[in-house]
Amino acid sequence: MTEKEKCEAGILYNANYDQQLISERMACKDLCLEYNQLKNSDTRNRNELIKRILGSTKENICIEPSFWCDYGYNIEVGENFYANHNLTILDCAKVKFGDNAFIGPNCSFYTAGHPLDAKQRNEGLEYARPITIGDNVWLGGNVVVLPGVTIGNNAVIGAGSVVTKDIPDNAVAVGNPCKVIKNIEEN
């Protein structure tokens, strides 16, 4: 089993010393650098390049520079996706955003985690768990979403939150660790 296959299976794999994964990350980061250096007014090339980087997109998406990810092909974004400046997605596993996702500045999505055992960590082993963000979700600035988290439809995550566990539909959640503080009622 290759290291990439181990990653996809959700088991410990070696990302630091596997040439295939290193090569894929380097190619993606080169594209991210190119994207981040384009003029903001060069919308045609920005749109074409971001669609080359990401695994799956709808038509209406906007990611403000700077944007960084590991592989790109594991990221899916829905229609009307907007991410403000300094978006980081460590997409060792799938990261899926629904339609009408609104991501504040300085947000980070980490699918990668590391063993608690120092020997395993020092060998370069890690694991990856997918992240799913539902439709109509708003994340305030400086939100961090950790491996394996699902944020439900219509949820709002307050600025500065660290989301360590799933958040249900129609919830307002804040804090570190992020916790639901109220439900959103339909008007």
* Residues classed as catalytic: 114
CB-based contacts of 48: which residues, under 8 Å, 6+ apart? none
Q: Do 166 and 150 touch, CB atoms closer than 8 A?
A: yes
Q: What is the DSSP letter of 123?
A: T
* Type and span of the H or E element at 25: helix 19-37
Cα gap 16→151, rounded to integer Å:
29
CA diameter of the chain: 54
Q: What is the DSSP letter of 171?
A: E
Instruction: Please write down the HEC assignment for all residues of 34-89.
Output: HHHHCCCCCHHHHHHHHHHHCCEECCCEEECCCEEECCCCCEEECCCEEECCCEEE
Rg of the chain (C-alpha set):
17
CB atoms within 10 A of CB 173: 22
